[in-house]
Each structure stands twice: as C-alpha cells, then as structure tokens.
Amino acid sequence: MANILTVDDSASMRQMISISLEGAGHIVTQAWNGEDGLIAAQKQKFDLVLTDVNMPKMDGLELTRQLRKLDTYKFTPILILTTEAGGDKKTEGKSAGATGWLVKPFDPEQLLRTIGKVLG
C-alpha cells in the first residue's frame, strides 16, 4: 500500500487514476494543477507522484523540478503522464528529474503495472 499523489487538470483522468489505485489498496490524493500538487506534496510525504504535463498554472515538468528541490522528494518516484509519444517530452521530463513516464492513453491495468515498477 502506498500513498500516491495524482496531479491532472482532467477530472475524469484523476478519477480513473484514483479509483484504479484505490481499488489496488493505495491511498490517493488528487490535485488539479502543479501548484496545488506542490502544496499537497509539502503537506505530506507521498511515496509516488503521478503528474500530467499540460496543466494550467504550473505544468508537470515544473512541478517535477520543484519537487526534486525538496529534501523529502529527492528519491521519490515521479511519473509523468504524457500523450506525446515522441521523445522530446520524455527527455524534458527526464531532465526535469522525473523517474519515468506513462504514455496516454493507458488503461487501469497498464497504470497498475507501471506503478508496480516503481513501488517497493
């Protein structure tokens, strides 16, 4: 069981992610943009952060950069959710400090499989 933060401006994605993860026994906190995600991450320590890239206010790459600056999130897995299958978002994500990525569209099973890769 892990404590997971999911950041996405799409309510249906957030809902799908949380219900899928909660169904697998995880605890999920939702945030709808990078700014809110950062605030949530500072309030409590999450074992995993899932963030969308394209969001209003603060995007997922900036959120990743900000999180990596925090002592508590130095080694925490951060996965970015991206629709662009092309390499540039992945590379950008990596240089921002993301652990890995999950390419949209994905279904709940794929999500759980990928989560399994980074959770101990």
Residues in contact with other proteins by the rule CB under 8 A: 9-13, 15-16, 19-20, 23-24, 54-56, 68, 74-78, 83, 94, 97-101, 104-109, 112, 117-120
The nearest distance, CB 95 to other proteins, in angstroms, is 9
Nearer to other proteins, 25 or 43 (CB): 25
What distance in Å separates the CA atoms of residue 92 and residue 2, rounded to the nearest whole number?
27
Question: Nearest-5° angle of CA 80, CA 86, CA 90?
Answer: 30
Tokens 């999180």, located at residue: 67
The nearest distance, CB 47 to other proteins, in angstroms, is 10
The nearest distance, CB 43 to other proteins, in angstroms, is 17
Nearer to other proteins, 34 or 77 (CB): 77
CB-CB neighbours of 46 under 10 Å: 24
* Inter-residue contact 99 to 69 (CB < 8 Å): no
